[in-house]
Structure 1
Amino acid sequence: MTARVLVAGATGVIGRALVPLLRAHGHHVTALVREPSRAAGLDPDDLVVADALDAPAVRAAVASARPEVVVHQLSALRGSTAQGLEHTARLRTEGTAHLIAAAEAAGARRIVAQSIAFATAPHGGPVLTEDAPLHLDAPDPGWALTTRAIAELERRVLGAAALSGVVLRYGTLYGPGTLYHRGGAIGAAVARGRLPLPEPAAGVTSFLHVEDAARAALHAVEADEVRGVFNVADDDPAEAAVWLPEYARLLGAPPPRVVPAQLAERMLGWLTSHQLTAMRGAANDRIRRELDWKPATPSWRTRLAAD
């Protein structure tokens, strides 16, 4: 059944893949954007403008769109800078609250929201389900802020009184516009031999192509009877000791040099070091079973360096 869908964050890497996908499936799509100039080439059915942190503006924009389903893809991440993390945390807390209030006032029935699968605490594993606790007590202030904002987003979405809520915990995104694209920050660092491999490199990353992320959002929009939290990741979680050397090989780059884990943290910062040494992967069994989704790209090995 087709629906009127509002996509907040439509100019982001997932939003740009999702808008045409929704339209191809017959949905009427309104893009909510903060800067209309960034919507060039997006081609939604309608465009509304609001800063997600401005509650009255969000309420007016959503009211004019009259959505049945709201898709929340808001973030402000351009790398892992402190400013980007802080702004994204506000979008996940204040912005989520504004979207939910506006959606309920406009008579929407459903909200689908972006979360992250790699915010779980590094205990157990190596691959965790949606029931694993979030890393709320992370030693890094920026990551603790991120995980607490994620927890609030999920609580608000699942607790919305008048909306059926779905939270999609995306794995580590790759593809056009991401850090892992050949022109992205991580792709460029690996290509130049500037991303070292800690010893041990036991952190597990669950990758996800942006096209598969968009397809998961489409499934969530169309599955009216389903609600809850879902990991969205490919079928090939990999330790850094596996994926980083293979990524370098695929890029035609030199093998990453091996450094002690303590030195890696000083060189790369806490978050990247955490990914390479301690992060856990994400199981995708629940979304396969309840949303009938599976990755069109089952393994990062085929496309990580291809886009």
Structure 2
Amino acid sequence: MKVLVTGATGFVGQHLIPQLLARGHTVTAVARNPSKARGFDWYEHVHFIACDIYQPRENVFQFFGLPDVVIHLAWEGLPNYKELFHFERNLFADYLFIKSLVEGGARHLLITGTCFEYGMRNGCLSEDMPSLPGNPYALAKDTLRKFVEVLPQKQDITFQWARLFYMYGNGQNQNSLIAQLDRAIDSGDPVFNMSGGEQLRDYLPVEDVATKLVNLMEHPQCTGIVNICSGEPISVRRLVEQHLAQRESHIRLNIGYYPYPDYEPMAFWGDAKKFSSITGER
């Protein structure tokens, strides 16, 4: 299939594209920075378009090569979850971009959402729960999903909303937990400051997230909200300890140095049954 990937050089996009290519798909990769894109091994094997997708243009769907599938990953300003620009600017820019693609003929949309759409809930989170977003980022994402669901062409579209849980791996934001830990290890720091670490979260390597997104795309009968998760909770402290063992590091953990984030519940993870029942993958 011909697949358009926005946010191609982002954390997920850079890992998604090699997997699409490996499965024989033709990829049009879109990002603003061609210099960054040239640094990836996949660059020579895709049709790369350097542009601002939010810039108004005629015939958007045709401009991007009439793809069979649109995988929309792009979203500005992360990980600043609390900033108002998520719904003051990003929401409407993304909606108009998606609307233009659909009006031009796009018929298969896979758009990434966030587990934060579930709000401040503890426990196992399943797709049939009502959304209760508690920060501007989650509110904007959840509203975008609802906007797309009421497009006049909705009945003719395969619409997959992939709710991403937590990820780690190469290319992650430098302020994320594992990236900070790696930096401390590489710098030879004797101590790593962290929270109490008792939070339960749902983590996957970003490569596994990319695999799940490709599998979801290849199963168009699986529509609506789909959790992209492991389905297995792990404490933040245990995740850190596992990473230290993998890195063979003896850095000392300063547990409880930071307070727990106020925009996350204490213990939550995804229900993976919907994804597994369709794709056969855990």
Q: CA deviation at 1:91?
A: 7.4
Residue 188 (str. 1) matches residue 183 (str. 2): yes
Residue 152 (str. 1) matches residue 143 (str. 2): yes
**Paired residue for 1:287?**
275
Taking the aligned partners of 2:204 and 2:77, their CA distance within structure 1 comes to 17
SS for the counterpart of 2:110 is strand
**Paired residue for 1:257?**
254
Q: 1:102 to 1:43 in 2, by over 3 A?
A: farther
The one-letter code of the counterpart of 2:70 is: V
Give runs of aligned pairs for residues 57-76 of structure 1, distance below 5 A. Answer: 59-60=59-60, 62-76=62-76
**Paired residue for 2:119?**
121
Q: 1:118 to 1:60 in 2, by over 3 A?
A: closer
Residue 178 (str. 1) matches residue 172 (str. 2): yes
**Paired residue for 1:130?**
127
Task: Return the match for 2:94 from 93, 96, 110.
Answer: 96
Q: CA deviation at 1:88?
A: 5.6
**Paired residue for 2:11?**
13
The one-letter code of the counterpart of 1:24 is: A
Q: CA deviation at 1:202?
A: 3.7
Taking the aligned partners of 1:228 and 1:282, their CA distance within structure 2 comes to 16
Taking the aligned partners of 1:45 and 1:37, their CA distance within structure 2 comes to 15
The one-letter code of the counterpart of 1:70 is: V
Q: 1:14-41 CA deviation, whole Å, 9 max, x = no partner?
A: 2112222222222221112222222213
CA contact (8 A) 1:76 1:87 kept: no
Taking the aligned partners of 1:135 and 1:244, their CA distance within structure 2 comes to 29
CA contact (8 A) 2:192 2:252 kept: no
Q: 1:202-234 CA deviation, whole Å, 9 max, x = no partner?
A: 421111111111112212222222211111112
Q: 1:71-95 CA deviation, whole Å, 9 max, x = no partner?
A: 001133565486xx55665675234
Q: 1:153 to 1:92 in 2, by over 3 A?
A: farther
* Alignment coverage as a number of residue pairs: 271
- Return the structure number with greater helix share: 1
Q: CA deviation at 1:51?
A: 1.4
Give TM-score, length-normalised by structure 1.
Answer: 0.75
Q: CA deviation at 1:254?
A: 3.0
Residue 168 (str. 1) matches residue 169 (str. 2): no
Q: 1:114 to 1:108 in 2, by over 3 A?
A: same
CA contact (8 A) 1:68 1:109 kept: yes
Q: 1:118 to 1:249 in 2, by over 3 A?
A: farther
**Paired residue for 1:47?**
48
Taking the aligned partners of 1:91 and 1:9, their CA distance within structure 2 comes to 17
Q: 1:107 to 1:35 in 2, by over 3 A?
A: same
Q: 1:64 to 1:280 in 2, by over 3 A?
A: closer
Task: Return the match for 1:226 from 222, 225, 228.
Answer: 222
CA RMSD of aligned residues (A): 3.1
Taking the aligned partners of 2:89 and 2:30, their CA distance within structure 1 comes to 14
Q: 1:29 to 1:155 in 2, by over 3 A?
A: same
SS for the counterpart of 1:220 is helix
Q: 1:32 to 1:61 in 2, by over 3 A?
A: farther
CA contact (8 A) 2:193 2:255 kept: no
Segments of 5+ residues of structure 2 without an aligned counterpart are none
**Paired residue for 2:104?**
106
Q: 1:143-195 CA deviation, whole Å, 9 max, x = no partner?
A: x1011012112223444424211011112111111148898235435774333
CA contact (8 A) 1:197 1:244 kept: no
Taking only the aligned residue pairs, the percentage that are identical comes to 20
SS for the counterpart of 2:167 is strand
The one-letter code of the counterpart of 2:258 is: A
CA contact (8 A) 1:5 1:68 kept: yes
Taking the aligned partners of 1:91 and 1:110, their CA distance within structure 2 comes to 25
